[in-house]
Amino acid sequence: MTVVVLDPDAFLKIQNLADRCVENVTDDVEKDAKRYVPIDTGELRASIHQFHFAGTAKIFVGTDHWAPTEYGSRPHIIRAHGDYALANRETGFYARSGVVHHPGTPEQAFMRPALYQRRHIRAGR
């Protein structure tokens, strides 16, 4: 006769192990996203954070310009929303009409390369 005794804390231990694995993968993705992000002012890089809640994790990018950076943008028109000229301080270009034809921006992906890579799952710190 075989007797199997299940540790009463077995499920809790498995959940804790899984939670540590999720935290480690999230740490790795956050670090890679910060490593891959293009840096101009540093605002985009500084806005990348992770959040954990009840065994789940999210990477949050807290700027409004992350999507055009990640995916690029098509050429578009920028219009002034007031009685002023549009200016680019770096180039010294001024559009007195209040309208600028923006040429668009190339894709500079940082989240997708951070997310879509093979990783080793580990429970230890």
Range of the domain at 15: 10-74+104-115
The total of structural domains in the chain comes to: 1
User: Which segment of 2-6, 12-16, 21-25, 55-59 scores lowest on mean pLDDT?
Assistant: 2-6
Above 80 in pLDDT, residue 80? no
Nearest of 109, 114, 108 to residue 50 by alpha carbon: 114
**Res 55: pLDDT:** 75
Q: Over the stretch 23-79, which tens digit does the pLDDT of each residue have? A: 999 999 999 999 999 998 899 999 999 998 887 899 999 998 899 999 999 998 888
Provide the terminal-to-terminal Cα distance of the chain, rounded to the nearest Å: 41
Above 80 in pLDDT, residue 85? no
Handedness of CA 116, 118, 120, 125 (dihedral sign): negative
Would you say 37 and 48 are in contact if contact means Cβ atoms under 8 Å apart?
yes
Q: What is the pTM of this model?
A: 0.75
Residue 120, in any domain of the structure: no
Residue 97, in any domain of the structure: no
Instruction: For the beta carbon of residue 37, count every other beta carbon within 10 angstroms.
Output: 23
Average of per-residue pLDDT across 84-100: 69
Alpha-carbon gap, residue 38 to 122, rounded angstroms: 29
Residue 86, in any domain of the structure: no
